[in-house]
Structure 1
Amino acid sequence: MTQIIVLPHVELCPDGSVIEATPGTTVCDSLLGHGIDIEHACEKSCACTTCHVIVREGFESLNEATEDEEDLLDKAWGLEPQSRLSCQAVVGEAALVVEIPRYTINMAREGKH
């Protein structure tokens, strides 16, 4: 099992969390499986950016992003060099520290702050 440390997020995980993920699963599925209800509007098909996360530690251990993912990430709110779509980021053997951005494109569009 691989440890994922989720940094605090005001709505989804106010106190942060430490979860155990199975290598080979996606970060999104791992978060959802541990009760962290990260948004995934396209049902994890790499068609939106609502599951965007920033991988603060362990980024190099993830699978490489595809060109489709890279193109979508350009539209993500709060994009950083270590940004990934959690539905496409496959957990490896190294521990991860993940930050869920405060906003998504959907939240901004729906007027949520």
Structure 2
Amino acid sequence: MPIIKIMPHPEYCPQGIEVSAPSGTSICEALLENGINIEHACDMSAACTTCHVVVREGFASLNDLDETEEDLLDRAWGLEPNSRLSCQAILAQKDLLVEIPKYSINHAKENH
């Protein structure tokens, strides 16, 4: 079972955390199932960018981006070459190091 190491984030996991999840699980599902309440305004339907993450290690082990995800990522805050929508990034066998960006473009979130 791959391990996802989440870098410290002031809101979601201030100390950082490591979670494990079965292959075939999306990063977003793995985080939510382990109590990391990452934003996912579209309920993981690939219609927004609120679950955007940057995969610092293990990027190549994830499934390929499809056209919808590529188009949406163009609108993500803090886009980097190794950015993914966590709802679309499916775990394989390799461990990951993931950073949740400080901001998202969720205009509906309170206190934003």
* Pairwise TM-score range, normalised by the shorter structure: over 0.9
Q: Which residue of 1 aligns with 2:60?
A: 60
Instruction: Show CA shifts across 1:21-48 (max 9, x none).
Output: 1100000000000000000000000000
In structure 2, what is the equivalent of residue 40 of structure 1?
A: 40
Moved over 6 A (4+): none
Matched residue pairs, number? 112
Amino-acid identity (%): 60
Matched, 1:4 2:15: no
1:69 aligned to 2:66? Answer: no
Q: Residue in 2 aligned with 1:20?
A: 20
CA distance in 1, matches of 2:41, 2:99: 18
Gaps of 5+ in 2: none
Per the alignment, residue 83 of structure 1 pairs with 83
Q: Structure 1 residue 106: deviation in Å? A: 1.2
Q: What TM-score do you get using the length of structure 1 for normalisation?
A: 0.95
Per-residue CA deviation, residues 61-95 of structure 1 (Å, 9 max, x unaligned), is 00000000000000000000000000000001000
Q: Which segments of 5 or more consecutive residues in structure 1 lack a partner in the other structure?
A: none
Measured in 2, the distance between the counterparts of 1:11 and 1:17 equals: 13
TM-score, with length taken from structure 2: 0.96
What RMSD, in angstroms, separates the aligned Cα atoms of the two structures? 1.4
Q: Which amino acid aligns with 1:85?
A: L
When residues 60 and 28 of structure 1 are mapped into structure 2, their CA distance, relative to the original with a 3 A threshold, is same
In the other structure, the counterpart of 2:92 is 92
Quote how far apart the aligned CAs of 1:18 are. 0.4
**1: CA distance between counterparts of 2:40 and 2:98?**
16
